[in-house]
Amino acid sequence: MQIAVIKYNAGNIQSVSYALERLGVDFQITSEPEEIMKADKVLFPGVGEASTTMAFLKENKLDKVICGLTQPVLGVCLGMQLMCRHSEENNTPCLGIYDEAVKLFRATAEEKVPHMGWNQLTEIKGWLSPRLEGQNAYFVHSYYVPVNPFTTAVTNYIQPFCSAMQKNNFFAVQFHPEKSAGAGEMVLKSFLEI
């Protein structure tokens, strides 16, 4: 099985690489459309800002490549947000795979933005292992996807939000499985077994 990790102006490619190496997976980091399209599975990681990342994807025609993929694709953090229709981050039109709008967390007296650190995964269903129910994953984000019909895990910070989702061959997680210890390894294995 060949995994393509989409290379773009994202900051967490190295930690994703380490996680895949630990699992003994054959992968390559690439921005070449042909390599991405012929991979068995595709990982769309992300740490960064929505508008500059979308501009990079469009400039390199990766927006059309990602939307046209028919094999399993996993969006991580910003990758998940960019799969949505629109992000409030710099009023950015995104890929539109999910007809959802990404929202900015509104800080409260008790809870700051960004949401950073370990938080619980609940309401697990679909492609994720039921053993993930109640486990903690590692989050770093200021924007979130509201709970929606495609949600496969929910996390509560300021309000409940979508921490994982699936639509057809597109899978996504808001947390960082590559930094989420055993729970993250379980998520990556669930994706690799699809």
* Closest residue by Cα to residue 142 from 101, 94, 102: 102
Q: Which two tokens stand for residue 173?
A: 């997680």
The enclosing H or E element of 72 equals none
User: Active site residue: 77, 84, 94, 162, which one?
Assistant: 77
Q: Which two tokens stand for residue 186?
A: 């379980």
Please answer whether residues 47 and 77 qualify as being in contact, where contact means their C-beta atoms are separated by less than 8 angstroms: yes
Q: Which two tokens stand for residue 43?
A: 């990982």
User: Active site residue: 21, 49, 178, 193, which one?
Assistant: 178
User: In a 3-state reduction of DSSP, which class is residue 89?
Assistant: coil
Tell me, yes or no, if 86 is annotated catalytic: no
User: In a 3-state reduction of DSSP, which class is residue 62?
Assistant: helix
Note the residue count of the chain. Answer: 194
User: Active site residue: 89, 100, 176, 185, which one?
Assistant: 176
Tell me, yes or no, if 49 is annotated catalytic: no
Q: Which two tokens stand for residue 85?
A: 């229709």
Please answer whether residues 175 and 77 qualify as being in contact, where contact means their C-beta atoms are separated by less than 8 angstroms: yes
Q: Which two tokens stand for residue 47?
A: 């740490």
Tell me, yes or no, if 178 is annotated catalytic: yes
Phi, psi of 12 (to 5 degrees): -115, 25
Task: Return the active site residues.
Answer: 77, 176, 178
